[in-house]
Amino acid sequence: MTMRGSGQPAAATQDLPESLGYSIKRRLLGPPLINEQLAEERLSKPLALGVLSCDGISSAAYGSEEILIELVQVLGYTAAFAVLLPMTGVVLFGIALVVLLYREVVSVYTRAGGSYVVARENFGPRVAQVAAVALLIDYVVTVAVQTAAGSAAIVSAFPQLSNIPVIGGKIVLIIAVIAILIMCYGNLRGVREAGRTFALPTYMFSASVGLMIVVGVFRQVTTGLPRAPLGPGVYCNGCHGHPGSGLLTLGVIFVLARAFANGGSSLTGIEAVSNAVSALRPPEGRNARQILVIQGSIVAFLIAGISWLAHATHAVPYQSGYPTVLSQEAKLIFGTSVLGWVLFYAVQAGTALILFTGGNTSFSGFPYLASFVAEDSFLPRWLTKRGHRLVFSSGIIVLTVVSLTLLIVVGAVVNNLIPFYAIGVFTGFTMAGFGMARYHRRTKGPGWRRHAVISIIGGIYTGLVVVIFAVVKFTEGAWLVVVVFPLLVVAFIRLNREYRMESRVLERIGTRGKPPEPPTYARRTVYVFVDAFDLATIAALRYARSLRPTTLRAVHFVIDRQHADALAQDWVRAHTGITLDLIDNPDRRLDRAAAELVSEEAALPGVGVTVVLPRRSFTPLLGRLLHDHTADKIAAAVSQIPHAVATIVPFDVRNRLERLSERNGQLTEEPRQQLVNDRGRADSAPAPGTPGLTPATQAPPGSKAVLPPAGAPVSSAAGGSRRFPAPQPLRPIASLTRGERATVAGRVRSIEIRPAEQNTVLAYEIQDPTGHLTALFYGRSHIAGVYCGSRLRLRGRVGVENGQPVMTNPAYELLATGEPP
């Protein structure tokens, strides 16, 4: 006798062909990860600072440059550099406020989610969608901005790339697109950010730019710094001898507001720590506050230093985005010696790496936030599913498509993307500020007034930035965010309403009062809708006969008389023993005709109707081109009729064609004869529900299931109250024999609750590398802590059921993940 644990079924399973799509996915992404490998790695403070601060610190690479872009165009060459330092001071004040604000957040909310969780807990899930939309927009634009800035840093280091024929003018865009695709691929493979590799760019950029600032200030004090040369394509007014409009321009306030809005991009990314508090080592709140202060100090130092050196060197931004102000400063400060060039390229390498790494943070933040929102039923629930490598693959792909679209449409120039950027970022800041103020007013903990004042000031400041951006950047692209933002919020709420309506309709049985009795029908009518007599129809007829209906009828709706006559002839020759009804359908509305037929039969008292529809499955692309999915349309119409259900029986045409070709393409009468044989065996088989034949006691001929009768008393081992026996050597499941006592260990592959004469049987299918075993617990419907994927050690007597080894009421022990058996 062969048991399932012998390994034979496993070999058969290995012979099952994989789909082409899965084979490609496995080759590109690697083997799938199992749920047990979803371990959480806690970060130390130095590692967390490098991993979580890259987005915030990287904004220093372009913050000062964005302020200058607005100033030099209107105020003029000289006045712009005079106003640069005061404007930088205003931005530094904003950095301090945001750091203080998010210290309040991480002190209270020590789990992932950031401003979305703050808004949801304090304003409710609907208002929280404002924060959700803001953060999702922020993540999308962060990818575009960071990759564009990183690509500009590369071209600034190697200006020869801009001279490549045909693509030279688009080189920054091409590099950015390639970088996003690489990020997408790496994250689909499950690349973790929590590693030293992702922390290195943060420290490399901070150290190299910090060294540049120190050397630059020293040179300015001792020997002085040279002025940056002016090339074609600079953003400048009055750079070439023509006076600028200066501070007396009528639009000076407007210009200063635009410069302040651009400089506000330096504040982006500071909140990233609050989105990953749960990844820190305990105490999470205190460590997060310290990391925020250190991060804010580094950002403030770098922005102040870069602005000071820009003021000293008069480095002017270029319309193409390169050479960047930072690269101009590095070249002037380090000089043209060998060491100077090495340090220059170190600055550019650190800048490019931290910008690309900062963009990569969105590939973890966006999918996680989307999954949070989807769990609250404000986004499609397929965003909550983990993919092949235990990452939220759908969220990663959505982020990639949207960010690439934005980058291609707007262009890979940071200044063109900034209007899309800060509205989302600062809206999230504002929601966090007012949410924390409401929290402190509600809870009134120690020092709540001071904390509430800090939160309110932070909310007002960041809210002011949102208003300024919406006004001064409206014509440059902010209008799109202003229009799309409320539409997305409304769409999220509307989607949630749809989910709530579905939930009310599909409410779980038994949640209110006594569960309704399952429907019982005195008669069961089964219709098989057929189009042609072929292997797909035969498979559907076999399935229909297995339902043991009161009435079984095959139905063909006639829309082509010659085709109907040919079908009738084939049916007579086949001797199926099943009546074929040919029903006229002059208007060719198959779904309508099917619904009318089923509705008439289902209206009879005590009658339930099942419609069986054969569906021929082809390759996805070819199937959509060659076939109209009639079975799906009929099933949709039938499913709306009370007391009626539709079942589609798929038939893989491509696979059968390959098998027939192996048999020299000759179709014999074997399938039809097999149908007749099946009919004879089905007619002589006992009906389901025959006394004495419960699912737990049925066994194939020649085997005996060693099982107690239904309702047998449960042993203490089954209840888990008896201690597990002393450690025994483990036996591979494939080596088990009937009647012996053995100890095995494995993973729970499936769980089944079987009805059995006024009781239930709980069946766990346990899998080890050699085979499968079923553990049966009588009188149980669940065991606390045991789920699909759990690891168990079992000891008991081995029996056999349907050729598979079983243990009845064994002693069991739940093993922790990674614990040796």
Residue carrying the six token digits 């401003």: 115
Of 97-106, 149-158, 767-776, the one with minimum mean pLDDT is 97-106
Q: What is the pTM of this model?
A: 0.69
Q: What angle do CA 735, 741, 746 make, to 5 degrees?
A: 55
pLDDT at 102 over 70: yes
Pick the CATH number of 716-815 from 2.40.50.140, 1.20.120.1230, 3.30.470.10, 3.40.50.1000: 2.40.50.140
Residue carrying the six token digits 């060491």: 339
pLDDT at 212 over 90: yes
- Mean of the pLDDT values across residues 227-236? 78
> Which residue, among 640, 664, 660, 642, has the nearest Cα to 651 in the 3D structure?
660
> Which residue, among 4, 6, 12, has the nearest Cα to 801 in the 3D structure?
4
Q: pLDDT-derived band of residue 696, with 50, 70 and 90 as boundaries?
A: very low
Q: Which of 265-279, 312-326, 385-399, 503-517 has the highest mean pLDDT?
A: 312-326
What single letter denotes the amino acid at residue 677?
N
The per-residue pLDDT of the chain, averaged, comes to 76
Which one has a higher pLDDT value, 518 or 108? 108
Q: Would you list the DSSP string of 223-243?
A: T--PPPP--TTB--SSTTSS-
Name the 3-class secondary structure at 532: coil
> Distance (Å, rounded) from C-alpha 728 to C-alpha 510?
43
Name the 3-class secondary structure at 551: strand
> Distance (Å, rounded) from C-alpha 98 to C-alpha 270?
8
pLDDT at 480 over 90: no
Which residues, other chains included, contact 565 with Cβ-Cβ below 8 Å and sequence gap of 6+?
Answer: none
Which one has a higher pLDDT value, 429 or 510? 429
Query: If one looks up domain 59-235+254-432+459-497 in CATH, what number appears?
Result: 1.20.1740.10
Domain 523-684 grouped into CATH 3.40.50.300? no
Long-range (24+ apart) CB contacts under 8 A made by 812-818 are 812/717, 812/720, 812/724, 812/775, 812/783, 812/786, 813/724, 814/785, 814/786, 814/790, 815/745, 815/790, 815/791, 816/791, 817/36, 817/39, 817/791, 818/36
- The continuous run of DSSP H or E covering 214 comes out as helix 196-222
- Mean of the pLDDT values across residues 563-592? 78
pLDDT at 273 over 60: yes
Report percent pLDDT > 90 for the chain: 13
Domain ranges of the chain: 59-235+254-432+459-497, 523-684, 716-815
- Mean of the pLDDT values across residues 23-50? 63
Which one has a higher pLDDT value, 39 or 129? 129
Q: pLDDT-derived band of residue 693, with 50, 70 and 90 as boundaries?
A: very low
Which residues, other chains included, contact 275 with Cβ-Cβ below 8 Å and sequence gap of 6+?
Answer: 112, 113, 114, 365, 368, 369
- Mean of the pLDDT values across residues 752-772? 77
Q: Which of 244-248, 433-437, 800-804 has the highest mean pLDDT?
A: 433-437
pLDDT at 36 over 60: no
| pLDDT, tens digit (0-9, with 9 covering 90-100), for 624-676 | 554 456 788 888 888 889 889 998 888 766 665 556 555 544 444 444 444 44
Name the 3-class secondary structure at 116: helix
> Distance (Å, rounded) from C-alpha 175 to C-alpha 152?
9
Tell me if 288 sits within 8 A of 296, measured CB to CB: no
> Distance (Å, rounded) from C-alpha 281 to C-alpha 287?
8
For residue 516, cis peptide bond before it (omega within 30 degrees of 0): no
Residue 17's alpha-carbon distances to 23, 561, 639, in angstroms, are 10, 40, 33
Query: Helices 414-443 and 77-108: crossing angle, nearest 10°?
Result: 40
pLDDT at position 178, please? 92
Of 40-54, 347-361, 688-702, the one with minimum mean pLDDT is 688-702
> Distance (Å, rounded) from C-alpha 774 to C-alpha 757?
20
Query: Helices 252-263 and 60-74: crossing angle, nearest 10°?
Result: 170
pLDDT at 754 over 80: no
Q: pLDDT-derived band of residue 805, with 50, 70 and 90 as boundaries?
A: very high
> Distance (Å, rounded) from C-alpha 71 to C-alpha 64?
11
Report percent pLDDT > 70 for the chain: 73
Q: pLDDT-derived band of residue 773, with 50, 70 and 90 as boundaries?
A: very high
Name the 3-class secondary structure at 650: strand
What single letter denotes the amino acid at residue 618?
F
| pLDDT, tens digit (0-9, with 9 covering 90-100), for 180-203 | 998 888 878 765 544 566 778 888
pLDDT at position 516, please? 56
